Amino acid sequence: MSEQGKLFIVSNRLPVNYNDEAPAGQRLKASSGGLVTGLREIHEQSDSLWIGFLGQLQGQDPELESYLKEHNLVPVHIRPKVYDKYYNGYANGTLWPLFHNFLASMSISDGHWKSYVEANHAFAKAIIDLLSPGDRIWVHDYQLMLLPQILREHQNDLKISYFHHIPFPSSEIFRAIPRRSELINGLLGADYIGFHTYDYARHFIQSAKRVAGAKTKINEIMFQDRPIKVAAHPLGVDFKAFAKTKSLGTRILERLRDSDRITFLGIDRLDYTKGLPERLKSFARFLELYPHFVGKARLIQICVPSRQNIGSYNKIRSQVERLVGKINGEFSRSDYIPVEYIFRSIPQEEVIELYQQADVMVVTPLRDGLNLVAKEYVAARTDGDGCLVLSEFAGAASEMGEALQVNPYDIETVAHTLNHALEMPPKERRERMQALRKRMKEHDNINWAQNFMAMWSQHEMDTRVNSKH
């Protein structure tokens, strides 16, 4: 993919996670989350080096070393205490809630900030040790917002870009964070900055103007005499991979295939931003409003465990589990459980089959950078059928106008929309799905990366030409 030099892909997580407490042979596990899902194939197809955190390594593991070498993966070493404060403390206790508009949940700690700075320096060191002339560095996500500027200070003519995978809030919200200037200045070390939506890009430009006093245009920021381009690049999915079928014999899938029940499906990392209590309440309200579906329609809700060392994540888990119990207590029959709740991650083949069997996919986050699950569902529907209910607060909503879009806070309307999804004439359902499939196929993850890289190169060329005049 790179014409000159190597491409560094840099993200907090590598696509695999190492757990040295697991038995030998089972220590490496695929990482979850939108970022790695989106980037994995891009990395495999290019000659890039992927720099990221792998887990805490104790001593040597020759098998691991050869795996990393073979897959061009470079682990960054960060001491456990520092990693905890950087990842659980600052990245996910301060930045994550603020960027998702959960201002009141933002925690502030100087110790967490110091570890965030230290961890960003550890990433910089890992890159600098491997850097050759002509290399390009593509930094990813909110865990590494200081890295572009650290690298720029190391070498002023480095080629650096940044992609932000989560929302960027309006400047009114952003300016509530105590280290706002450092964070904005950190990102302004890049030459090219991408967001999933035009709104996030606009919010960022506005924050750069208000917080850093930068001169801004509609899609450009002038900072320390350097033009920085800001653009919207919504990430796509590996369309072909989700279109594959392979029949598996798991218990959930057998139950799905055998029954003539209607299935609503939700698959999410268990996160308070995903609107899970609201979704469960909407489903319960749907059963109340449309009682002929009691005994017929069920919700399969898969929650992938996430960030379990953070209190707010444990709190949301208890809340979800209480609600599941309440709904099942109220609506169950001897042969019917309305909510099937699964708290673990499940393999991709199983996810694909679930997508293919589900009548309605329910993706209703309160706030989400993009949401790849919505796109994966569409990619998996090779039969051209199925219906997507999508929150208007997911970044993906701006490209998925044919989905049934809802305000996830509005329980009553979501309940009616679940009914509408079932009552929609098949012709309309298929037309909506076909339009979505066409768009998702054209804008897949490879197309996303190629576009980003091409626009980044174009910006470099324009800057060079302009600086000569």
C-alpha span between 363 and 451 (Å, rounded)? 27
- The closest of 269, 271, 51 to 140, measured between CA atoms, is 51
Please report, to the nearest 10 degrees, the dihedral formed by the alpha carbons of residues 61, 65, 71, 76 taken in order: 90
Query: Which H/E stretch holds residue 436?
Result: helix 426-442
Q: Is 278 in the site for ligand G6P (CB under 6 A)?
A: no
Does 307 participate in binding ligand G6P (rule CB under 6 A)? yes
- In the complex with ligand G6P, the residue whose CB is nearer, 195 or 286, is 195
In the complex, the smallest distance separating the C-beta of residue 380 from ligand G6P, rounded to whole angstroms, is 19
| Binding of ligand G6P by 10 (CB under 6 A) | no
Q: Are 428 and 133 in contact (CB under 8 A)?
A: no
- Measured from the CB atom, the residue of 363 and 421 that comes closer to ligand G6P is 363
In the complex, minimum distance from the CB of residue 110 to ligand G6P, in angstroms, rounded to a whole number = 22
Please, which residue, 223 or 272, has the CB nearer to ligand G6P?
272
Q: Locate tokens 């997580």: which residue? A: 13
Q: How far is the CB of 371 from ligand G6P (least distance, A)?
A: 9
Q: How far from chain centre, in Å, is Cα 392?
A: 16
Compute the distance between CA of residue 121 and CA of residue 86 in angstroms, rounded to an integer: 12
Among 85, 136, 159, 165, binds ligand G6P (CB under 6 A): 165
| 33: contact with ligand G6P by CB under 6 A | yes
Per the DSSP assignment, residues forming a β-bridge with 232 are 195
Size of the site for ligand G6P (CB under 6 A): 10
CB 102 to ligand G6P: min, Å: 15
51 binds ligand G6P (CB under 6 A): no
C-beta of 369: minimal distance to ligand G6P in Å?
Answer: 6
- For residues 402 and 436, what is the distance between their CA atoms, to the nearest angstrom? 7
Packing angle of the helix pair 34-45, 372-380 (nearest 10 deg): 60
Q: Rounded to whole angstroms, how far apart are CA atoms 428 and 76?
A: 50
Per the CB < 8 A criterion, the answer to whether 400 and 371 are in contact is no
Q: Kindly state whether residue 395 participates in binding ligand G6P, applying the rule CB under 6 A.
A: no
Q: Is 374 in the site for ligand G6P (CB under 6 A)?
A: no
Residue 98 binding ligand G6P, by CB under 6 A: no
Question: Given the complex with ligand G6P, which of 88 and 185 has the nearer CB atom?
Answer: 88
141 vs 399, which CB is nearer to ligand G6P?
Answer: 141
Regarding 375 and contact with ligand G6P (CB under 6 A), the answer is: no
Q: Between vectors from CA 294 to CA 292 and to CA 298, what angle results, nearest 5°?
A: 125
Q: How many residues would you count in the chain? A: 469
Name the nearest CA neighbour of 355 among 269, 266, 425, 444.
266
User: What gap in Å lies between CA 197 and CA 442, rounded to an integer?
Assistant: 17
Nearest C-alpha neighbor of 192 from the set 464, 426, 452, 384: 452
166 binds ligand G6P (CB under 6 A): yes
CB of 305 to ligand G6P, least distance (A): 9
**CA quadruple 167, 172, 176, 179: dihedral, nearest 10:** 70
Give the contacts of 33 (CB within 8 A, at least 6 positions apart): 13, 269, 306
Nearer to ligand G6P (CB atom), residue 190 or residue 339: 190
Among 16, 35, 147, 270, binds ligand G6P (CB under 6 A): 35
Identify any residues that bridge with 414 across adjacent strands, giving them in sequence order.
none
Choose between 313 and 331: whose C-beta lies nearer to ligand G6P. 313
Specify the residue, 141 or 376, whose C-beta has the smaller distance to ligand G6P: 141
CB closer to ligand G6P, 209 vs 307: 307
Residue 190 CB-half CA count within 13 A:
29
Q: Is 306 one of the binding residues for ligand G6P (CB under 6 A)?
A: yes
CB of 199 to ligand G6P, least distance (A): 17
Q: What residue is closest to ligand G6P based on CB?
A: 33
Give me the residues paired with residue 393 across strands. none
Evaluate whether 117 touches 84 at the Cβ level (below 8 Å): no
- Rounded to a whole number of angstroms, the minimum distance from the CB of residue 43 to ligand G6P is 14
Least CB distance to ligand G6P at residue 180 (A): 20
Residue range at the interface with ligand G6P (CB under 6 A); choices 31-39, 56-64, 70-78, 456-464: 31-39
The nearest distance, CB 310 to ligand G6P, in angstroms, is 9
- For ligand G6P, give the closer residue by CB, 53 or 192: 53
Residue 141 within binding range of ligand G6P, rule CB under 6 A? yes
Residues 6+ apart with CB under 8 A from 451: 233
Q: Which stretch binds ligand G6P (CB under 6 A): 27-35, 220-228, 320-328, 346-354?
A: 27-35
Q: How far is the CB of 73 from ligand G6P (least distance, A)?
A: 15
Is there binding between residue 34 and ligand G6P (CB under 6 A)? yes
Backbone angles phi, psi at 190, to 5 degrees: -85, 160
Q: Judged by CB under 6 A, does residue 13 bind ligand G6P?
A: yes
Distance from C-alpha of 415 to C-alpha of 395, rounded to nearest angstrom: 22
Which residue ranges make up the site for ligand G6P (CB under 6 A)?
A: 13, 33-35, 141, 165-166, 306-307, 369
